[in-house]
């Protein structure tokens, strides 16, 4: 069983440690925890099934953390999305 290569993991946590907002930091930590849980096989999953869930290439944790910080820092827009608005309505982005 081979585990995927995680790139820039220490750098990811360094970037995250600079975040001052505790809500953003907790949301990013929650997402990181979910990623890490996906990377490890569980006893109910066959090796083939687990391998299909993994990233196809090395996974850049710093890039992920930077994107998540940018996203979770927009809490008013997230609240609007959770209330049923589209991303375009909540952010003004034409997606």
**Domain layout of the chain by residue ranges:** 6-91
Q: Which residues neighbour 62 within 8 Å (Cβ) at sequence distance 6 or greater? A: 7, 8, 9, 11, 12, 15
User: For position 21, what pLDDT does the model report?
Assistant: 94
Mean pLDDT, consecutive 10-residue stretches, the chain (95 aa), reads 77 95 95 86 73 83 96 94 94 85
* 93 alpha carbon, distance to own chain's centre: 21
Is the pTM here over 0.95, yes or no? no
């Amino acid at each position: 069983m081979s585990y995927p290569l995680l790139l820039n993991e220490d750098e990811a946590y360094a970037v995250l440690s600079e975040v001052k907002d505790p809500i953003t930091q907790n949301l990013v930590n929650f997402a990181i925890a979910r990623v890490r849980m996906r990377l490890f096989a569980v006893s109910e999953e066959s090796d083939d099934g687990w391998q299909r869930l993994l990233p196809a290439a090395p996974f850049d944790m710093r890039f992920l953390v930077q994107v998540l910080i940018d996203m979770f820092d927009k809490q008013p827009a997230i609240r609007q999305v959770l209330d049923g608005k589209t991303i375009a309505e909540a952010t003004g982005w034409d997606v």
